[in-house]
């Protein structure tokens, strides 16, 4: 099988599993317990926090471990907006982009349904980017928070985060970014990015599912969304996932240390793959930004097909990929990311996303590109829909 669905999830890296193992077995303590086992767990958690803070260039106290990207996004969007509204009831609007993951979008809609917020959606251009001017146009004195993703999970487009955060700050508005897809590929220095909050998920970069984190700059007010025993300095209650935190810290450190090499190598492979797909399927349309895109994502529309049919055909050739984000899989609705980019719904139904982790090889991608031309040709011949 050639696995080209790394934006959905990645296998756990060997080094990550090795680092986690002791905290599943001998050192299995609860980090809140006042005995040696508990203290060992607390020390491991503190070590993980220090490593993560090193990668993010932030204070250790700014790191809140969560169960993953969805929880981190919920905590950022709800937690910051609600804390600001509590301090000043006139702050009752949130700004998100038109291409956010549902974890951000649905958190904003929850604020709208239950807490009297209005949601302002900033549009993207045809490449999927938010421009600083487009953001400035939707900011209001009542805006409590701006949340714009670092890189998109369907098309890989990278946002100009530092410039966008600066625009929000000119109006005194905190800025959150969902860096779930960016982590492992792009710089994560929170000072250089200028963000006040940033979400990361372990399973997109070689740590297991169910671990993640939210960076929250210390001056940013945050209302918790999970209440209980007051762990993570009261910002996220629940017995800490010590092994998960260690795994996330190890994966982030590995990614940081190898980033330059992996980014250049995978970007070159991605470009070769894009060229090969375009050669085999001349009417294929590459979606997303031509250059400001993640090394790890190549996404296309294949006119005259249905994305789902191409996926099934590709799987018969041993190539596994996705027709959009895994979260939207199974839904027949066209991708809102693609339609927000101005791609007509009919064309958006033909989308296929190929995504890679650092283990991808040239041989695999050459085989995959050949499979893509065969699959698209077959689906076109059969007529879209008949291979379902
Ligand atoms: N944000 C983005 C951009 C994602 O791609 C994903 C996962 O697909 C998430 C958030 C959710 O992360 P998790 O799967 O850790 O809940």
Give yes or no for residue 340 having a pLDDT over 50: yes
Residue 101 C-alpha to ligand 1 middle, in angstroms? 7
Give yes or no for residue 354 having a pLDDT over 70: yes
Mean pLDDT, residues 341-358 taken together = 96
Give the residue, out of 103, 154, 199, 207, with the most ligand 1 atoms within 8 A of its beta carbon, to mutate for a pocket test. 103
Residue 349 C-alpha to ligand 1 middle, in angstroms? 22
129-167 per-position pLDDT tens digit: 999 999 999 999 999 999 999 999 999 999 999 999 999
The tally of CA atoms less than 13 A away on the side-chain side of residue 84 is 25
Q: What percent of the chain has pLDDT over 90?
A: 95
C-alpha span between 218 and 239 (Å, rounded): 22
Give the residue, out of 70, 207, 214, 324, with the most ligand 1 atoms within 8 A of its beta carbon, to mutate for a pocket test. 70
Residue 60 C-alpha to ligand 1 middle, in angstroms? 23
Give yes or no for residue 326 having a pLDDT over 70: no
β-sheet bridge partners, residue 287: 299
2-21 per-position pLDDT tens digit: 999 999 999 999 999 999 99
pLDDT at 131: 98
Q: Which two tokens stand for residue 74?
A: 């919920």
Residue 325 C-alpha to ligand 1 middle, in angstroms? 9
Residue 280 C-alpha to ligand 1 middle, in angstroms? 32
Would you place residue 384 in the very low, low, confident or very high pLDDT band (cuts 50, 70, 90)?
very low
Look at residues 120, 105, 101 and name the one whose alpha carbon lies nearest to residue 171: 120
Mean pLDDT, residues 181-199 taken together = 98
Would you place residue 383 in the very low, low, confident or very high pLDDT band (cuts 50, 70, 90)?
confident
Backbone Cα Rg of the chain: 21
Task: Name 312's Cβ contacts closer than 8 Å, sequence gap at least 6.
Answer: 387, 388
If you take atom 5 of ligand 1, which residue's CA is the nearest one? 153
Would you place residue 324 in the very low, low, confident or very high pLDDT band (cuts 50, 70, 90)?
low
Average pLDDT, the chain: 96
Ligand 1 pocket by Cβ (under 6 Å): 68-70, 73, 101, 103, 149, 153, 178, 180-181, 201, 203, 212, 325-327
Closest ligand 1 atom number to CA of residue 100: 3
Give yes or no for residue 329 having a pLDDT over 50: no
| Active site annotation includes 327 | yes
Closest ligand 1 atom number to CA of residue 325: 8
Q: By the 8 A CB rule, do 34 and 161 touch?
A: no
Which of the residue ranges 148-157, 203-212, 217-226, 317-326 would you say has the lowest mean pLDDT?
317-326
If you take atom 9 of ligand 1, which residue's CA is the nearest one? 69
Residue 178 C-alpha to ligand 1 middle, in angstroms? 8
pLDDT at 330: 53
82-129 per-position pLDDT tens digit: 999 999 999 999 999 999 999 999 999 999 999 999 999 999 999 999
Is the pTM higher than 0.75?
A: yes
Q: By the 8 A CB rule, do 150 and 163 touch?
A: no
Give the residue, out of 104, 107, 181, 209, with the most ligand 1 atoms within 8 A of its beta carbon, to mutate for a pocket test. 181
Give yes or no for residue 327 having a pLDDT over 70: no
Closest ligand 1 atom number to CA of residue 209: 15
Higher pLDDT, 263 or 327: 263
Closest ligand 1 atom number to CA of residue 153: 5
Q: Is the dihedral angle over the CA atoms 337, 343, 346, 349 positive or is it negative?
A: negative
């Amino acid at each position: 099988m050639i696995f080209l669905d790394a934006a959905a999830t990645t296998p756990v890296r060997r080094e990550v599993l090795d680092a986690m193992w002791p905290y599943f077995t001998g050192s299995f303590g609860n980090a809140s317990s006042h005995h040696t086992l508990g203290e060992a767990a607390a020390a491991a958690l503190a070590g993980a926090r220090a490593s993560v803070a090193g990668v993010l260039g932030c204070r250790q106290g700014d790191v809140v471990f969560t169960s993953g990207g969805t929880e981190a996004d919920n905590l950022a969007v709800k937690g910051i907006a609600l804390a600001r509204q509590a301090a000043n009831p006139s702050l009752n609007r949130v700004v998100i982009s038109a291409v956010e993951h549902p974890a951000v979008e649905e958190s904003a809609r929850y604020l709208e349904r239950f807490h009297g917020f209005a949601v302002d959606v900033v549009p993207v251009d045809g490449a999927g980017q938010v421009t600083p001017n487009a953001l400035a146009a939707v900011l209001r004195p009542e805006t409590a928070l701006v949340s714009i993703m670092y890189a998109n999970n369907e098309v890989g487009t990278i946002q100009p985060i530092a410039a966008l955060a600066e625009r929000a700050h000119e109006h005194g508005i905190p800025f959150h970014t969902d860096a779930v897809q960016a982590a492992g590929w792009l710089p994560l220095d929170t000072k250089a990015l200028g963000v006040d909050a940033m979400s990361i998920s372990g399973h997109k970069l070689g740590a297991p599912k169910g671990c993640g984190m939210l960076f929250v700059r210390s001056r940013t007010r945050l209302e918790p969304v999970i209440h209980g025993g007051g762990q993570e300095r009261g910002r996220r209650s629940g017995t800490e996932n010590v092994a998960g935190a260690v795994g996330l810290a190890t994966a982030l450190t590995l990614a940081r240390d190898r980033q330059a090499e992996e980014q250049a190598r995978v970007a070159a492979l991605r470009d070769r793959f894009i060229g090969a797909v375009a050669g085999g399927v001349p009417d294929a349309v590459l979606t997303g930004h031509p250059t400001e895109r993640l090394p790890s994502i190549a996404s296309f529309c294949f006119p005259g097909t249905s994305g789902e049919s191409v996926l099934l055909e590709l799987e018969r050739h041993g190539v596994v990929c996705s027709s959009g984000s895994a979260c939207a899989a199974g839904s027949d609705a066209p991708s809102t990311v693609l339609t927000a980019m101005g791609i007509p719904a009919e064309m958006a139904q033909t989308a296929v996303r190929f995504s890679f982790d650092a283990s991808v090889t040239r041989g695999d991608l050459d085989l995959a590109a050949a499979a893509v031309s065969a699959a698209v040709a077959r689906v076109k011949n059969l007529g879209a829909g008949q291979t379902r």
